[in-house]
């Protein structure tokens, strides 16, 4: 029976429910019999009515059908109560505008696969083809069955692509369902998806993972160490990580770095010297106690000996030759001198008045260097050097004294400058004294002594060299006078413990 026949059948059964008729005759009428005889037959059948009731009520008599030919007269049953027509979506009949028994149409539920339909809405699959409901399929262009969007999602069809609908991540090609919509993975979506190795980290696009989170290789981890999970940094993992400044060294937790390794500051380096963010080799001038040094840039086999107060390991580390954890003064004070210079010259590094016969100031012999003062002073320097000292190389110099025999004929001269010479240059301090010179020969003036170093630090080599000496100059009050200098001699004080 095609769809139009089923609909005609529904109309007939509805009419029979309202007036007694024979469904058989009605069906024959639908089949194309003689209309008049069909109607008469229907009337005859209906005349039999229902059986009489017995007081408790019998079944309802069926109403006669309506013929399209001659009219039949059917009588109603004399028995029980009148019959009640039954129509609807549960009467087991295809009636009303149903497209199949108890389904389809405008009021009944959609029909299942294989049942009749007129439009897609008549089918629970939403797909009516050739007046028959099709079963859901993953290629029918309709969202049906277990699908979450058209032909995708659910357990049977392919996954849905963004931004198609979903119920769970498994419905999506991205494995991520947010707000019922498939979305692309992100490094901030609090879900492990895409190529992430753990939630929002690892893989090719998200930040590296913290310790203990899942990883595939070292690049997935902030520590650079992956063993199924990211491992904490250590000082033996052969990677620059944690607070290290170079591989497994430097920083707060690992050993100091050797020379030529990267550093942030001196504390990262074995040498204690970080320059240009690289650990540098120790030297005797880097202002750090490092290498084999016992003190800062002193002691040990490579650097100069240490002065008093610096750390030491043996006596050989100290200028005083006395080590007791630190270099201590030698209690054996010694002197060398008085020594006289081998060379005295006139030096115009100061003043305007020249010394005549300056070489006579080399020794105590009553032969004098002479300066004639007129106009204004001061004199040039008497530049005395090469005193032939031989202070032991391990001695500690503790003081220097200069003595000069000088006088003038009128008592008008006085000291201008009295300085030591170190390496060819005058010392920082002048120890000239006030007052005029004596007017007779034989008077010796002393400058400095034990404990006086003239504003300099001295090694035995400084004093033993030819560039060590004294520079002396005079000046005068108003008027002229003649100055005389017999000698400029020096005494050196030092501690030496052989």
Question: CATH code at 410?
Answer: 2.60.120
pLDDT digits (tens, 9 = 90+) for 432-470: 999 999 999 999 999 999 999 999 999 999 999 999 999
The pTM score is: 0.41
The Cα 414–Cα 58 span in angstroms is 164
DSSP assignment string, 96-153: TT-SBTTBSTTTSPPB-TTSB-SSGGGBTTS-EETTEEPPP-TTSSS--TT-SBTTB-
Give the up-direction half-sphere exposure of residue 491: CA atoms within 13 A in the CB hemisphere.
15
Where the chain has pLDDT below 70, the residues are: 1-87
pLDDT for res 459: 95
Residue 429's domain comprises: 336-495
Residue 471 in contact with residue 351, Cβ under 8 Å? no
Same domain membership, residue 418 and residue 301: no
Same domain membership, residue 380 and residue 306: no
Same domain membership, residue 344 and residue 325: no
The Cα 198–Cα 208 span in angstroms is 10
The Cα 428–Cα 453 span in angstroms is 10
Please state whether the peptide bond connecting residue 338 to the residue before it is cis, i.e. omega within 30 degrees of 0. Answer: yes
329, 353, 380: which is the final residue of a domain?
Answer: 329
Same domain membership, residue 383 and residue 303: no
Same domain membership, residue 447 and residue 343: yes
The Cα 498–Cα 495 span in angstroms is 10
Same domain membership, residue 453 and residue 309: no
pLDDT for res 10: 46
Same domain membership, residue 485 and residue 356: yes
275, 310, 329: which is the final residue of a domain?
Answer: 329
279, 312, 329: which is the final residue of a domain?
Answer: 329
- With respect to residue 340, please indicate whether it lies within any of the assigned structural domains: yes
Same domain membership, residue 416 and residue 305: no
CA-nearest of 403, 409, 473, 477 to 440 is 409
Contacts of 272-280 with C-beta under 8 Å, sequence gap 24+, read none
3-state SS record for 324-358: CCEECCCCCEEEEEEECCCEEEEECCCCCECCECH
- With respect to residue 190, please indicate whether it lies within any of the assigned structural domains: no
Residue 326 in contact with residue 311, Cβ under 8 Å? yes
Same domain membership, residue 381 and residue 310: no
pLDDT digits (tens, 9 = 90+) for 206-265: 999 999 999 999 999 999 999 999 999 999 999 999 999 999 999 999 999 999 999 999
Residue 116 in contact with residue 128, Cβ under 8 Å? no
- With respect to residue 129, please indicate whether it lies within any of the assigned structural domains: no
Residue 404 in contact with residue 432, Cβ under 8 Å? no
Same domain membership, residue 473 and residue 425: yes
Same domain membership, residue 357 and residue 482: yes
Residue that has been written with the tokens 């170093």 in this structure: 453
The Cα 368–Cα 193 span in angstroms is 104
The Cα 42–Cα 23 span in angstroms is 8
For residue 355 the two structure tokens come to 């010394």
Distances (CA, A) of 486 to 52, 303, 482: 177, 42, 13
pLDDT for res 185: 86
- With respect to residue 78, please indicate whether it lies within any of the assigned structural domains: no
Residue 330 in contact with residue 497, Cβ under 8 Å? yes
Overall number of domains in the chain: 2
Residue 9 in contact with residue 1, Cβ under 8 Å? yes
pLDDT for res 376: 75
Q: Widest CA span of the chain, in angstroms?
A: 185
Query: For residue 267, what is the DSSP state?
Result: G
Same domain membership, residue 486 and residue 390: yes
pLDDT for res 29: 39
- With respect to residue 373, please indicate whether it lies within any of the assigned structural domains: yes
pLDDT digits (tens, 9 = 90+) for 391-420: 999 889 999 999 999 999 999 999 999 999
Residue that has been written with the tokens 């060819």 in this structure: 424
Helix (H, G, I), strand (E, B) or coil at 247: coil
- With respect to residue 369, please indicate whether it lies within any of the assigned structural domains: yes
- With respect to residue 468, please indicate whether it lies within any of the assigned structural domains: yes
Residue that has been written with the tokens 């059986």 in this structure: 51
Query: For residue 5, what is the DSSP state?
Result: H
- With respect to residue 461, please indicate whether it lies within any of the assigned structural domains: yes
């Amino acid at each position: 029976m095609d769809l139009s026949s089923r609909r005609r059948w529904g109309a007939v059964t509805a009419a029979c429910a309202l007036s007694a008729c024979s469904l058989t005759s009605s069906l024959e009428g639908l089949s194309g019999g003689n209309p008049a005889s069909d109607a008469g037959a229907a009337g005859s059948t209906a005349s039999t009515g229902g059986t009489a009731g017995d007081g408790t009520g019998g079944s309802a008599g069926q109403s006669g059908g309506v013929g399209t030919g001659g009219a039949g007269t059917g009588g109603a049953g004399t028995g029980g109560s009148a019959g009640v027509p039954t129509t609807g979506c549960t009467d087991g009949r295809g009636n009303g505008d149903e497209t199949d028994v108890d389904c389809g149409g405008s009021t009944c539920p959609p029909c299942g696969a294989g049942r009749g339909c007129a439009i897609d809405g008549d089918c629970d699959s939403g797909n009516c083809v050739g007046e028959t409901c099709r079963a859901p399929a993953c290629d029918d262009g309709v969202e049906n069955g277990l699908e979450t969007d058209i032909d995708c999602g659910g357990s049977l069809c392919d996954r849905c692509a963004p931004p198609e609908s979903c119920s769970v991540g498994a419905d999506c090609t991205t494995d991520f369902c947010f707000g019922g919509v498939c979305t692309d993975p992100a490094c901030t979506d609090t879900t492990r998806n895409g190529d992430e190795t753990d939630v929002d980290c690892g893989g090719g696009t998200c930040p590296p993972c913290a310790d203990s989170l899942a990883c595939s290789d070292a690049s997935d981890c902030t520590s650079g160490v992956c063993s199924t999970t990211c491992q904490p940094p250590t000082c033996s993992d052969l990677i620059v990580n944690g607070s290290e400044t170079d591989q497994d060294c430097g920083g707060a937790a690992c050993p100091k770095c050797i020379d030529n390794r990267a550093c942030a500051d001196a504390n990262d380096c074995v040498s204690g010297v970080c320059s240009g963010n690289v650990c540098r080799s120790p030297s005797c001038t880097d202002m750090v106690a490092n290498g084999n040094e016992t003190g800062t840039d002193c002691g040990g086999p490579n650097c100069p000996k240490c002065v008093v107060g610096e750390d030491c390991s043996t006596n050989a580390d100290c200028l005083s030759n006395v080590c007791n954890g630190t270099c201590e003064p030698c209690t054996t004070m010694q002197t060398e001198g008085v020594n006289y210079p081998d060379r005295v010259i006139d030096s115009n590094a100061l003043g305007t008045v020249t010394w005549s016969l300056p070489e006579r100031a080399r020794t105590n012999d009553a032969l004098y260097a002479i300066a004639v003062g007129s106009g204004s002073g001061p004199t040039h320097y008497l530049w005395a050097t090469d005193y032939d000292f031989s202070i032991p190389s391990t001695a500690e110099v503790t003081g220097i004294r200069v003595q000069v025999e000088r006088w003038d004929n009128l008592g008008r001269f006085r000291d201008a400058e009295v300085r030591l010479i170190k390496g060819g240059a005058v010392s920082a301090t002048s120890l000239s004294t006030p007052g005029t010179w004596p007017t007779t020969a034989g008077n010796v003036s002393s400058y400095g002594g034990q404990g006086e170093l003239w504003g300099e630090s001295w090694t035995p080599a400084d004093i033993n060299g030819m560039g060590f000496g004294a520079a002396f100059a005079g000046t005068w009050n108003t008027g002229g006078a003649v100055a005389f200098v017999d000698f400029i001699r020096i005494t050196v004080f030092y501690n030496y413990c052989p």
